[in-house]
Amino acid sequence: MEGDSESRRIAQSLAVKVVELETENLRLKEEVAGLAESEKALLSKNRLFEAKVLELQARLLYPPASKQPGGGKQGAGPVPKFRSPFVNDERGGLVYRFERPESARRPG
C-alpha cells in the first residue's frame, strides 16, 4: 500500500511539473513570435533608412545644376528630376511609394 501511495504522489508531482513546463513553453513561444514580429518591423524600417541615406548621398554627389559652381548644365546629374520614393503616411511614418518608371508610362 505504501508503495502505491508513493507512486501516486510521484506521478502527481510529475503531472504538475509537465503542466508547468507546457505553460512556460507556450509563454516562450509567444515571446519568440513577438520578437520575430519586432525584428521584421525593425528590418523594414532599417531598409527605409538605408534608402534615405542613399538618396541623400546622391543629392550630395549630384547637386542640381543651379547649385553647382558655374551654375551651368554641365555635370548636372539625374538628381534634379529625382523624386524620393519615400513619403510620410497619415501616422507620420516613412513608407515607400511605388511609381511606374517613365518608360512604362509612355505608350510605344
Compute CA distances 67 → 18, 56, 58, 83, whole Å: 72, 15, 14, 17
CB 83 within 8 A of CB 98: no
- Where is mean pLDDT largest: 28-37, 47-56, 72-81, 97-106? 28-37
Residue 3 has pLDDT above 80, yes or no: no
Q: Check residue 52 and give its pLDDT.
A: 86
Q: Which residue has the cell 538605408?
A: 50
- Where is mean pLDDT largest: 16-25, 50-59, 90-99? 16-25
Q: How does residue 58 score in pLDDT terms, banded at 50, 70 and 90?
A: confident
The 3-class SS string of 51-81 reads HHHHHHHHHHHCCCHHHCCCCCCCCCCCHHH
